[in-house]
Amino acid sequence: MTDPYDAERSREPQDLAGLQHRLARFAAARNWQPYHTPKNLVAALSVEASELLEIFQWLTPEESVRVMDDPDTAHRVSDEVADVLAYLLQLCEVLGVDPLAALAAKIDRNERRFPVGEPPHG
30 vs 118: CA distance, rounded Å: 51
Residues of the chain with pLDDT > 90, as a percent, come to 83
pLDDT tens by residue, 8-37? 555 666 899 999 999 999 999 999 999 999
Residues of the chain with pLDDT > 70, as a percent, come to 88
pLDDT for the residue 4:
42
Angle at the Cα of 59 from the Cα atoms of 78 and 42, rounded to 5 degrees: 50
pLDDT exceeds 90 at position 83: yes
pLDDT tens by residue, 28-64? 999 999 999 999 999 999 999 999 999 999 999 999 9
Kindly state the average pLDDT of the residues 75-82: 98
Q: Which positions ≥6 away from 19 have C-beta within 8 Å?
A: 89
Secondary structure of 45-112 in the HEC alphabet? HHHHHHHHHHHHCCCCHHHHHCHHHCHHHHHHHHHHHHHHHHHHHHHHHHHCCCHHHHHHHHHHHHHH
44 vs 67: CA distance, rounded Å: 24
pLDDT for the residue 122:
61
pTM beyond 0.85:
no
Better pLDDT: 105 or 122: 105
